[in-house]
Amino acid sequence: MGFYYDFENADAFATGAIGTPGERTFYMQVRADGRTVSVKCEKQQVAALAQYLRNMLADMPDTTGSVNNSTATLQNPVEQDFVLGSVGLGVDRSNMRMVVQLEEMILVDEDDDDVFDLLDDSDEDEDPSTVVRVLLTPAQARAFCDTADLFITAGREECKWCGSPINPSGHACPRFN
């Protein structure tokens, strides 16, 4: 059974990573009204969302305000609510907000049947995925993008010849094979 969370006035839309470079787990987190929803995701999903939000900000009127990056960092303890599948983006121009929709990844077998349907005897019409919809102010979107950039670039150093990440134990560069 899935849940639907709708945050029209979120206190925070955050991102971050837990773990050491090369073994980090990325999360996005929404906080509002004493509720926190943490979504496990991939580094590339955070980077893509930040890039799209920056593009959306460039198309909106400049409402430069103070950016509070502390609202864009994870609040501990981080307890995963679900794993991110698809992301939807939109703009509510009448309220000058960006709409971000995070949907749960649903595992399917080779017949495109939900893996968990076999274990669940509930109503077939019920949507099993969890969805989080959040409306962001431009300042919240900017803070998210800035924080995302910090965590994305804080990973392992890249090899100057092949571009692959270098592990602390070393790197077997394919260019020198």
Span 1-48, pLDDT tens digits = 589 999 999 999 999 999 988 889 999 999 998 999 999 999 999 999
pLDDT of residue 134: 96
Report the distance separating Cα 29 and Cα 82, nearest Å: 11
pLDDT of residue 128: 73
pLDDT of residue 118: 46
pLDDT single digits (tens) 113-147: 655 554 455 555 566 789 999 999 999 999 999 99
What are the structural domains of the chain? 4-176 (3.30.2450)
pLDDT single digits (tens) 76-120: 989 999 999 999 999 998 888 999 999 999 876 666 565 555 445
pLDDT at 70 over 90: no
Using left for φ > 0, alpha for ψ between -120 and 50, and beta otherwise, residue 94 falls in: alpha
pLDDT of residue 99: 96
pLDDT single digits (tens) 151-173: 998 878 888 888 888 887 888 88
Using left for φ > 0, alpha for ψ between -120 and 50, and beta otherwise, residue 96 falls in: left
Report the pLDDT averaged over residues 45-64.
88
b/e code 14-33 from CB counts within 10 Å (16+ = b): bbbbeeeeeebebbbbbbbe
Report the pLDDT averaged over residues 60-80.
78
Task: Show the beta-strand stretches assigned E in 52-170.
Answer: 80-92, 97-104, 131-136
- Read off the tokens for 137: 């102010």
What are φ and ψ of residue 75, in 5° steps?
A: -105, 125
CB-neighbour burial class of residue 161 (10 A; exposed 0-12, middle 13-18, buried 19+): exposed
Report the distance separating Cα 125 and Cα 134, nearest Å: 25
Q: How far is CA 156 from the centre of its chain?
A: 20
